[in-house]
Amino acid sequence: MRQLKDKVCVITGASSGIGAACARAMSAEGAIVIGCDLRLDMLKDVAKEVKKSGGRMEAHALDVSDRDAVFALAEKIEKKHGGADVVLNNAGVAHGALVEETTMDNFQWVMDIDFWGVVHGTQAFLPHMIKRGSGHIANVSSIFGLVGVPTQSAYNSAKFAVLGFSEALRHEVKEQNIGVTCIHPGGINTNIVRHARFQQGPDMENEREEAIQRFQQFTITQPEGAAKAILKGIKKNKARVLIGPDAVLVDWARRLFPTHYMRALPFLKNIGQKDD
């Protein structure tokens, strides 16, 4: 897909961060953006900004963990626009806790959005792409989909699963002129930690603020830079997009030290750890 002009681009998690930046970038190239998010007020603000700049964007309230809702949206998009040309499965949440402290409710919450949301978004829009013989699906994983990190077992599980799912899908649809890209952002300046779940307790809010501060120290890339890399990857039909120098470093460390990469990446070990 060499250009996005007049292409119908569906973006989940489009109310802020990478999703909002991609909405602005795609609309600037002439795409018809279908923005989806649970935070509808914020999403409408992004749509207003896009329209004010001369772009086209619709705002749809959507819970990506609700399979029926995602399929209903896909049907609506097909009737109104003839289907989606690009689907960016970007919606994501985070949860930090040791494995022994992670509740099944929190584990399921992360998997439902970060992994099953990707599956739902793919299966809902893929049939029309196959019928038409063109399209592109881009799934957001993470550098935590490349390496395991303490206190991030649920997030790691979801993001590793996104990588495996995307790889299998790419091989399945390669001959049908459908591109698949798996995206691995490093530290991006987004609100994901602010909306993350933390273990209930008297120090929960303090732990949240500490986590936000640690995450801000870890962030290297702005959402606009991430959007630029994602659009380039989609246009060039790249199988994988690493976003940020930290993502490149993590990937190389994993390749060079398959089981001991944490020795080369000490900054990752403390991302989810509480300060002493």
Distance CA 146, CA 261 (A): 11
Q: Is residue 260 a part of any domain in this protein?
A: yes
Q: Is residue 154 a part of any domain in this protein?
A: yes
Q: Is residue 150 a part of any domain in this protein?
A: yes
Full domain range(s) for residue 112: 8-269
- Threshold 0.75, pTM exceeds: yes
Q: Is residue 191 a part of any domain in this protein?
A: yes
The answer to whether 155 is a known catalytic residue is yes
> What is the total count of domains within the chain?
1
What's 102's domain CATH number?
Answer: 3.40.50.720
Q: Is residue 2 a part of any domain in this protein?
A: no
User: Which pLDDT band, with edges at 50, 70 and 90, does 219 fall under?
Assistant: low
Q: Is residue 212 a part of any domain in this protein?
A: yes
- Residue 124 · residue 118 · CB < 8 Å: no
Q: Is residue 274 a part of any domain in this protein?
A: no
User: Which pLDDT band, with edges at 50, 70 and 90, does 1 fall under?
Assistant: confident
pLDDT reported for residue 190 = 57
Q: Is residue 244 a part of any domain in this protein?
A: yes
How much is the average pLDDT of 115-137?
A: 97
C-alpha distances in Å from residue 252, one per residue of 167, 198, 233: 19, 31, 19
Kindly report the number of other CB atoms within 10 A of residue 74's CB atom: 23
Residue in 115, 144, 155, 160 annotated catalytic:
155
Q: Is the pLDDT of residue 194 over 50?
A: no
